[in-house]
Amino acid sequence: MTSVNPVFVSLDTTEPARVAAWSHCLAGRVGGLKLGLEYFTAVGPAGLDVVRDVGLPLFLDLKLHDIPNTVAAAMRGVARLGVAVTTLHASGGAEMIRAAVGAARDTAAGLGLAAPKVVAVTVLTSLDQQAAEAVGFAGPIEDQVRRLARLTQEAGADGVVCSPLEVAAVRAECGPDFTLVVPGIRPSWSEVGDQKRVLGPAEARARGADILVIGRPITAAADPADAAARIQAELGL
Ligand SMILES: O=C(O)c1cc(=O)[nH]c(=O)n1[C@@H]1O[C@H](COP(=O)(O)O)[C@@H](O)[C@H]1O
């Protein structure tokens, strides 16, 4: 039996042709495709059409963060796109999360679609302890992540986005059925760039991550398919 590939590759670009080329060359080496703000603000919902024939689950990462009414309305638009996973910011609060989850599930059900998994970003992986304190998070980042994960779970969402460093703590707090989406993945051979709280793919997986979000280590590599194959090998897939 082959295990499911946990890697969702982040296709961060403004160009549909690049997204199409990457997704075709990476199909078979990754488990899903993530499109985010850079792409969506440039191309809009029609940009998803270039990857639909690849047959991989789509993760639309818009990190919604606004009042409950506005986020619920935006989430209805996301749910109509038939994506598998989507994001909002946990710091928008429990009422916002609850409204978003309800909107996603009701809209999808009304259309006969599967509802997207709604996962909440806890503390961005680009923040270190000092930067987190500067925006007003008191105490260790791990405590803040754990608190927001608990709030997210109580508000009915499917999981959270956290760095690999907090995976074990969140898993202990929220149990085995809570989806942990983990960016900040850096194989030893890749550049760290703007990420601050990072680990390698195998270590993140061993700590309990469900989805590994990996962008530039694959997309900025001279040979993206080869980079994805190296990550597959590191994961024992
Ligand atoms: O929600 C996310 O996916 C996300 C949350 C977070 O805390 N950190 C983070 O890097 N991401 C996204 O994960 C991807 C990471 O890409 P790379 O840093 O290129 O591997 C980007 O598309 C980010 O927008």
Q: Which atom of ligand 1 is nearest to the CA of 186?
A: 20
Instruction: Indicate whether residue 183 lines ligand 1 (CB < 6 A).
Output: yes
Does residue 115 have a pLDDT over 90?
A: yes
Q: Calculate how far, in angstroms, residue 173's C-alpha sits from the geometric centre of ligand 1.
A: 23
Q: Is 10 in the pocket of ligand 1 (CB under 6 A)?
A: yes
Taking CA atoms only, the protein residue closest to ligand 1 atom 4 is 183
Which of 38, 88, 125 to mutate for ligand 1's pocket (most ligand atoms within 8 Å of CB)? 125
Distance 183 CA to ligand 1 centre (A): 5
Handedness of CA 107, 67, 88, 180 (dihedral sign): negative
Please state, rounded to an integer, the average pLDDT across all residues of the chain.
Answer: 97
- Indicate the angle between helix axes 167-174 and 141-154, nearest 10 degrees: 30
Which residues line the annotated binding site for substrate?
Answer: 12, 34, 61-70, 125, 186, 195, 215-216
Phi, psi at 161, each rounded to 5°? -105, 125
Domain count, the chain: 1
Stretch 83-107: mean pLDDT: 98
pLDDT in tens, 83-94: 999 999 999 999
- For tokens 């982040």, name the residue: 10
Domain extent for 208: 7-234
Taking the centre of ligand 1 as the mean of its atom positions, its distance from the CA of residue 2, in whole angstroms, is 27
146 falls within a domain:
yes
Model pLDDT, residue 159: 98
Q: How far is the CA of 213 from the centre of ligand 1 (A)?
A: 7
**Residue 2: pLDDT band by 50, 70, 90 thresholds?**
low
pLDDT digits (tens, 9 = 90+) for 120-179: 999 999 999 999 999 999 899 999 999 999 999 999 999 999 999 999 999 999 999 999
Residue 78, domain member (yes or no)? yes
Nearest alpha-carbon partner for 196 in 128, 137, 141: 128
CATH of the domain at 222: 3.20.20.70
Q: What are the tokens at 28?
A: 């078979």
Indicate whether 1 belongs to any domain.
no
Distances (CA, A) of 128 to 140, 203, 210, 220, 232: 10, 20, 23, 24, 28
* Residue 1, pLDDT score: 45
- Which residues, 6 or more positions from 15, have their beta carbon under 8 angstroms from its beta carbon? none
Q: How large is the ipTM?
A: 0.99
Position 216, amino acid = R
Q: What stretch of H or E contains 149? A: helix 141-154
* 53 token code pair: 């024939």
Give 194-225 pLDDT, tens digit per residue. 999 999 999 999 999 999 999 999 999 999 99
Residue range 10-60, pLDDT digits in tens: 999 999 999 999 999 999 999 999 999 999 999 999 999 999 999 999 999
Residue 61 included in any domain: yes
Cα separation, 130 vs 180, in Å, equals: 24
In a domain, 2, yes or no: no
Classify 39 as helix, strand or coil.
Answer: helix
* DSSP strands (E only) in 42-175: 58-64, 85-89, 117-121, 159-161
Residues identified as active-site: 63
* Closest residue CA from atom 13 of ligand 1: 183
